[in-house]
Amino acid sequence: MARWRRDRGLQVRMIVTVLLLALVYAAFIAVLTYLGAGPLLLLGLVALLLVVQYFLSDRLALSAMGARTVTEVEEPRLYETLTRLSALANMPRPQLALVDSRVPNAFATGRSPRHSVVGLTSSLVRMLTPEELEAVIAHELSHIKNRDVMVITIASFLSTVAFLIFRNWFFFGGGMQGGRGDGDRSLWFVLPLVAAVVWAASYLLIRALSRYREFSADSGSAVMTGRPSHLASALAKISGLMERVPTKDLREVEGMNAFFIVPAISGSSIFELFSSHPPVEKRIAALERIERELA
């Protein structure tokens, strides 16, 4: 087992974030319940939607990224790296997908380790050394091992509900007024406001949570490969290049993000190396800390 000191601070921040999120959601549910059963019905409907999204997430994400799953015969070296890391971490080996893109990036998706895919863009594969690629693949495997897709899907569930209410309050408000006669009608127009506040607060908290998950995956990569310096150099390489990528390519990336209409859904389906990410300098500093503890 890796014997270096765990980042307790990171775990405390993560727990606090989740508790705050739970608090925001609890308040939201309290308001919804006060207003009658109608919103609960809506909650059920969105839950159903999310379950469907949860089970389709891998395919949704892959088609949105324009990713193509490849076989072991096509990419023997990448698969061998994936195989060895999966064996070390004692997890089922995910499938590998490639995206033909000039933007170097990597992502992990899938609801469980058994149904997961690691995606790499062609430019990333070209740009990085085998050791750096191994570190990036280990980072994505950590996301899968930590079940980050599930964590964020659950965390953003009520946020999605709030967002939908806020966007469609006329429709929902009108539809639900007949649901319960004794509900306080004057409160109905407060609902979109409450929903907006819930959405904004939970959005920030989810962003924070996914940043912490990124840090965790970085340290996971360091544990798996035993070589934090390779991930650090990969991150430095990618971020350096990303700044110089022409705007046209960046717009292409924007296009891929826009494929997801509800922001919370896009956030939960995909764990990109560089989405809602902490600054690269901070990530590299954290990796260097692990490096010092190793030596």
Partner 1 sequence: MAFRDALDALLGRTRLPEAETERLFAISTAVVTLQTSLDLAPSGRGALCVKPIESSRYDAAMAEIRELLDYSCRETGSTCRLETDSYRFTWVVLEDPDFEDLVTGIHLVSQTLIEHGFGAYLLCAVFRFDGATRVYWIFNFKQGRYYPFVPGPGTTRDSAQEFRLRSLLENELPIEKEVERWYPLWGIPI
Binding site for partner 1 (CB under 8 A): 1-3, 6, 10-11, 14-15, 72-73, 76, 80-81, 83-84, 86-90, 92-93, 130-131, 134, 142, 145-148, 151, 212-213, 215-217, 219-221, 223-229, 291, 294-295
Neighbour tally for 7: CB within 10 Å: 17
Residue of 74, 131, 132, 140 marked catalytic: 140
95 forms beta bridges with 117
Nearest Cα neighbor of 14 from 217, 159, 281 is 217
Q: How far is the CB of 266 from partner 1 (least distance, A)?
A: 21
* Separation between Cα atoms, residue 139 and residue 146, nearest integer Å: 11
Q: How far is the CB of 76 from partner 1 (least distance, A)?
A: 5
Q: How far is the CB of 147 from partner 1 (least distance, A)?
A: 5
Residue closer to partner 1, measured from CB, 15 or 52: 15
CB 219 within 8 A of CB 293: no
CB 94 within 8 A of CB 141: yes
Q: How far is the CB of 154 from partner 1 (least distance, A)?
A: 10
Token duo for residue 139: 């980072």
Residue closer to partner 1, measured from CB, 60 or 213: 213
Residues 6+ away with beta carbon under 8 Å from 194: 28, 31
CB 61 within 8 A of CB 79: no
Residue closer to partner 1, measured from CB, 147 or 237: 147
Residue closer to partner 1, measured from CB, 261 or 295: 295
Q: How far is the CB of 115 from partner 1 (least distance, A)?
A: 12
Q: Helices marked H in 35-145 — which ranges?
A: 38-65, 76-89, 122-127, 130-145
117 SS3 class: strand
Which helix (H) or strand (E) element contains residue 228? helix 228-244
254 is catalytic: no
Q: Burial level of 50, CB count in 10 A (0-12/13-18/19+)?
A: buried
Integer-rounded Cα Rg, in Å, for the chain is: 21
Q: How far is the CB of 295 from partner 1 (least distance, A)?
A: 6
Residue closer to partner 1, measured from CB, 139 or 188: 139
Residue closer to partner 1, measured from CB, 81 or 268: 81
Q: Which amino acid is at 286?
A: A
CB 64 within 8 A of CB 37: no
* Separation between Cα atoms, residue 134 and residue 138, nearest integer Å: 6
Query: What are the catalytic residues?
Result: 140
